[in-house]
Structure 1
Amino acid sequence: MAASAKTLTIDNHTFDGDWTVVLPRRGKQRRHSFRIRSPEQLQQQQQQPWAPIDLETDAVRKLKLMQKIQICMKKMENSPFYHTLLDQIQTPEIFCCFHRVLGSEMKMQMVIYGIGSIESYEPPRLQLSLAILLKRKFSWIGDIEVFDPVLSTTECQVLEALGCSVLSINEQGQRCAQKPTMFFMPHCESMLYDNLLRANWGVELLNHVVLFGNSFDVYEKNVSYSKNSAMVDSTRHILAIRQFTKEFRIQTVSDDYFGAFHTSSWHFFSPVLETELQYID
């Protein structure tokens, strides 16, 4: 099956769905081993058709949101935070990590999970602004696909107008990286990161993944001090992949960007042998 899900257009709003699988507060989910079923089989089983619940369109509301995004992008583009991040990406060590993931491919697709409501809150707008600016800056970043079950029809329309594709399938965070893919996931639930790793629990797939999201180092430290079984269960693959992870923390530089990006890191994975990856139930 194809690595990416069908994208959503305004004409095919015929489905409904939510993201209950990846939210810890909805209850502990039974986990299955990838040694029993392939990532592709699990991904196909877990996918759910999705579209915004509200189908109303409002031109004024759409215009106001587009203006908010444009203001946010301008703020981001001129910020010390953004220029510090660009400098970090272009350091030899991190640039080599991106180059290794790209391999012989010319483009690295970007998938944004869990962006939240870009209409209601500034942190999601800052996160989206950064993703779009990175694509514009680096020619090797390809198309951007976006999914969050909270997105409204208006938000989907604005995302499409900005050149993004909104998925019509809830992948539960379980996209198999059959080709180089940047997963842009700042401040997602730990179980969503774990789902992503679980779907790519193999040498070839993990070597295709770049993850921008919450620090795995912080997760490891938090789990070591916690007796919360739900936290341990939702971070099994995060902890297991740590020994094969290169993590680079980003600097928020100023308070303006702390809420949107604090404890965020770039993560690159480089297991060599399938036998190095632990069997996880």
Structure 2
Amino acid sequence: MSESEWQVARRRKGQTRKCKSQVPLSSPSVHEQLDVEKVVKRIRTTVTELRCEEFWPKWKDELLMATSASASAEEDVTEEQLKSRDDPPECVCYGLGSFSSCAAARYQLAMLLLLLEVLQVSLKNCFVYDPIFSSGEQNVLRELGMTVLTENEEGKRPVTKPTLFYLIHCGKALYNNLLWKNWSIQGLSQLLMIGNSFNGMRERTTERVFKQEYSYISKAVGLCEEKTLPCPPRMIDVFSDTAVITFPRHILLKEPQVNWAEPHEPEYRDWQDLEIILKAQS
């Protein structure tokens, strides 16, 4: 992969997700008509605002270092190398939330646009999905140049090329499903995640539940490199507990071959606590 330009109160537990996929589909904000041009302009203004934030250069540097480490253990990736790639990377964004009515979701979308610049990912190769998107919000995303997915994949998306997954404040089941679907040396080595810290998930979940319900995240903790991304106090609701996560090939190769054989699809006992909207519900 290569380089380019890839007032919120303290969040109580679960508060942020109210802007996310927990919003009821009957919410007025979901169905109201949007002024697409006005919303696009507001998002671009937010992009400009974030670009001027003190923490943005650190996000950019951490992303480029992670990208460089994934591409080569010895040399940094330059912007020119990024532009000359034969097989350009993709991006998948799940669970963004209702960005037309939720300030946190709007800032997260603006940050995604900045990160895509850095990684030289074409907007058309950025696939976005949230079951709570209104038709107006889908039109906004298309106007920005992104590709809106029409099917709830529940995170079960296999990768065939370097892919950035942008999953800020998404439910653990989404991460677990994604890891399961790509549980191989080839698959994991092509994943670059920006989302919830795996270590943070482990700390906030009982050991029994973490290993039984979210076994792939549990195993991934020892197979990944995770760098925490800075978050200013006023943006705790927006970017708290966010990390850039990679799966270096040299670490994956140390894993016994038996641990890659026939990964079983995750099964969840407590569907009420999954923090995601299932395909059957969307």
Percent identical pairs in the alignment equals 23
The residue that corresponds to 2:258 in the other structure is: 275
Structure 1 residues 67 and 234: CA distance shift in structure 2, 3 A: farther
The residue that corresponds to 1:244 in the other structure is: 223
Q: Which amino acid aligns with 2:61?
A: D
Structure 1 residues 234 and 164: CA distance shift in structure 2, 3 A: farther
User: Which one of 209, 215, 221 corresponds to residue 197 of structure 2?
Assistant: 215
User: Which one of 80, 84, 94 corresponds to residue 113 of structure 1?
Assistant: 94
Which piece of structure 1 moves more, 236-245 or 138-147?
138-147
User: Which one of 134, 137, 148 corresponds to residue 118 of structure 2?
Assistant: 137
The residue that corresponds to 1:266 in the other structure is: 244
Tell me, yes or no, if the aligned pair for 1:190 and 1:234 is still in contact at 8 Å: no
Cα distance in 1 for residues equivalent to 2:213 and 2:41 = 38
1:97 corresponds to 2:69: yes
Which piece of structure 1 moves more, 130-139 or 196-205?
130-139
> What do the CA deviations read for 1:160-186 (whole angstroms, capped 9, x no partner)?
111111001211111101111111111
Aligned residues, how many?
Answer: 223
Superposed displacement of residue 100, structure 1: 4.4
TM-score, structure 1 length as denominator?
Answer: 0.70
The residue that corresponds to 1:147 in the other structure is: 129
Determine which structure has the larger strand proportion and give its number: 1
Partner secondary structure for residue 183 of structure 1 = strand
Superposed displacement of residue 86, structure 1: 1.3
User: Which one of 156, 177, 193 corresponds to residue 138 of structure 2?
Assistant: 156
Residue ranges of structure 1 left out of the alignment (5+ in a row): 1-22, 25-53
The runs of at least 4 consecutive aligned structure 1 residues that moved more than 6 Å come to 54-57, 101-104
Q: Which amino acid aligns with 1:79?
A: E
Superposed displacement of residue 209, structure 1: 0.9
Q: Which amino acid aligns with 2:218?
A: L
Alignment of structure 1 residues 26-175 onto 2, 5 Å: 58=33, 61-91=35-65, 94-100=66-72, 106-139=87-120, 143-175=125-157
User: Which one of 182, 188, 199 corresponds to residue 206 of structure 1?
Assistant: 188
Tell me, yes or no, if the aligned pair for 2:183 and 2:263 is still in contact at 8 Å: no
Cα distance in 1 for residues equivalent to 2:187 and 2:221 = 16
Cα distance in 1 for residues equivalent to 2:221 and 2:140 = 37
Superposed displacement of residue 82, structure 1: 1.3
Partner secondary structure for residue 111 of structure 1 = strand
Tell me, yes or no, if the aligned pair for 1:186 and 1:264 is still in contact at 8 Å: yes
Residue ranges of structure 2 left out of the alignment (5+ in a row): 1-20, 23-28, 265-282
